[in-house]
Amino acid sequence: MLQSVDTGERSLEAYRGVAPDPILDRLRDLADGLRGLRVLHLNATPYGGGVSELLRSAIPILSDLGLVAEWKVISGDESFFSVTKAIHNGLQGAERSLSEAERATYAATSERNAALLEEVYDVIVVHDPQPAAIPSLHGKGESRWIWRCHIDTASPNPEVWAFLRSYLEGYDGAIFTLRDFLPPDLPIARVEIVPPAIDPLSPKNIDLGEQTARQVLDWIGVDLDRPLVTQVSRFDPWKDPLGVIAAYRLAREEVTGLQLALAGSMALDDPEGWDIYGEIQEASAADPLIHVFTNLTGVGNVEVNAFQRLSEVVVQKSIREGFGLVVSEALWKETPVVAGRAGGIPLQLADGVGGALVDSVEECARAMVALLRDPGRAAELGRSGRERVREHFLLPRLLLDELTLMSDLVAGVPRPAPSSERDPVCGMTLVEPESAPSAGFRGLAYRFCSDHCRARFELAPERYVGRGGPAPSTEGAP
Ligand code: UDP
């Protein structure tokens, strides 16, 4: 039997007054028609990184909505997770080939895990490449299988992609974070674009109160009389921690006493983390104003919450990114963000809301300094960022979008149901479509979460109204 992860019990009603009511109501209505649906989420680690973060919050709410929801993790040894990290990096475009031995390791471990999947489900959602081979090795049975890809697979390394692609052919549906991430020849017909979301009620995001947050950071040795910038992310080259240190050093020439915190987690499925950790230690060893923390040395959810709350600026200098949950986490705490223009980050910082997008170490330093020198502007960006997160990036919206796909697959609906309530670019359900930015195309009106999505649509509308795009409204076409 595969290992189950226990996530406890929580109620959707707890989100009333926090997440938008119309989204909660639509979610409840949709879930009413899915009562008793047996749903399994399958991934590679019960802790560390965005996927486990999401599942820990999503599973109890699905159960509260009347579904029979479970979370299980596959298991593997270090050599398996080294191969899956190589696949992960290759899918994000890294130059890397897979040896015969590595392919055999992936296949053998996948086969062992497939044999351990004993229960029967109506829908099985498989997250990322690590467990992706399970349906082809286990057999699809009566289940609908969804591949949920959280990473940027827009320009995958062809050899790595061809290897993984051969395992994806049996899937009934796929979910990607951004339309831009779709690989060129995905062998899955039904595709849904759904950006992730944060849980505003988790210990990481719940309101902490300034005094408590200060005590938490004081306790781990951060001097809150000095200005503080923080990056919270796995120790991963794509998150560019050495670039953050370089940008921080430039910024410190302008802002006396500035300190940097790098909080990074080690995930079970990410053996590369220790090497990067070593590089960061080396780069920061002689610098007492750089603090490096990990989840293995006492920095857990509450500490991350305090860092994201009390930092003057949160940095996320990613070079490649899936979504970057940490951006929404910081914005939810009204902290402005300086972040790399990568993956889902521009969607979160759309329309100049919440902070600044940067493309280099120098720009990153300049944006940090500008915000550190202008607390009024920083506060304004933080407030606008929180509002954008409230409207678009909270858990109930994510569950609504995912359940829409599950409901269609179970009912045998081959294409998305007509809806003018979803942004055709980012795929998100809109809270108030009537007042959202709109654009016309071929006499029909489309609605968007931001001017950023509308501008993207206007550049190439045919890209968004074809496969997987929602049907628009015929009313009020501009
Ligand atoms: N995280 C954490 N502790 C750390 C580093 C990261 O709890 O030291 C969490 C972070 O708060 C976020 C998740 O791990 O919830 C990372 O998700 P994101 O989408 O930003 O990146 P991923 O790791 O999935 O690439």
DSSP string, 38-68: EEEEEES-SSSSHHHHHHHHHHHHHHHTT-E
Sequence length of the chain is 478
Residue 474 above 60 pLDDT?
A: no
CATH topology (fold) of 3-193: Rossmann fold (3.40.50)
Residues 18-55 have pLDDT tens digits of 999 999 999 999 999 999 999 999 999 998 778 998 99
> Per 3-state DSSP, what percentage of the chain is helix, strand, and coil (rounded to 5)?
45, 15, 40
Are 317 and 364 spatial neighbours (Cβ–Cβ below 8 Å)?
Answer: yes
Residues 357-412 have pLDDT tens digits of 999 999 999 999 999 999 999 999 999 999 999 999 999 999 999 999 999 999 99
| Ligand 1 pocket test, candidate residues 92, 206, 220, 304, most atoms within 8 A of CB | 304
For residue 448, give Cα distances in angstroms to 32, 113, 216, 382, 445.
27, 41, 40, 22, 10
pLDDT tier for residue 478 given thresholds of 50, 70 and 90 = very low
Closest residue by Cα to atom 24, ligand 1, is 50
Are 231 and 327 spatial neighbours (Cβ–Cβ below 8 Å)?
Answer: no
Note the pLDDT of residue 90: 96
Q: How far is the CA of 357 from the centre of ligand 1 (A)?
A: 19
Share of the chain above pLDDT 90, in %: 89
- Residue from 322, 269, 275, 235 nearest 109 by CA: 269
Are 149 and 126 spatial neighbours (Cβ–Cβ below 8 Å)?
Answer: no
The amino acid present at 251, given as its one-letter code, is A
Note the pLDDT of residue 268: 67
Q: Which atom of ligand 1 is nearest to the CA of 238?
A: 25
Decide: helix, strand or coil at residue 406. helix
Closest residue by Cα to atom 23, ligand 1, is 49
User: d(Cα 415, Cα 192) in Å, to the nearest integer?
Assistant: 10
Decide: helix, strand or coil at residue 126. strand
Note the pLDDT of residue 475: 44
Residue 458 above 50 pLDDT?
A: yes
210-392 CATH: 3.40.50.2000
Tell me the average pLDDT of the chain.
94
Note the pLDDT of residue 477: 44
Residues 109-166 have pLDDT tens digits of 999 999 999 999 999 999 999 999 999 999 999 999 999 999 999 999 999 999 999 9
Pocket lining for ligand 1, CB < 6 angstroms: 49-50, 53, 204, 232-234, 263-265, 295, 299, 304, 322-326, 329
Instruction: Indicate the DSSP class of residue 285.
Output: T
User: d(Cα 451, Cα 448) in Å, to the nearest integer?
Assistant: 7
Note the pLDDT of residue 314: 98
Q: How far is the CA of 33 from the centre of ligand 1 (A)?
A: 33
Phi, psi of 110 (to 5 degrees): -65, -40
CATH 3.40.50.2000 in the chain: give the residue spans.
Answer: 3-193, 210-392
Note the pLDDT of residue 472: 56
Q: To 10 degrees, what angle do helices 325-332 and 301-310 make?
A: 60
Q: Which atom of ligand 1 is nearest to the CA of 263?
A: 8
Q: How far is the CA of 440 from the centre of ligand 1 (A)?
A: 38
Pairing state between β 144-149 and 173-176:
parallel
Note the pLDDT of residue 466: 63
Q: How far is the CA of 232 from the centre of ligand 1 (A)?
A: 7
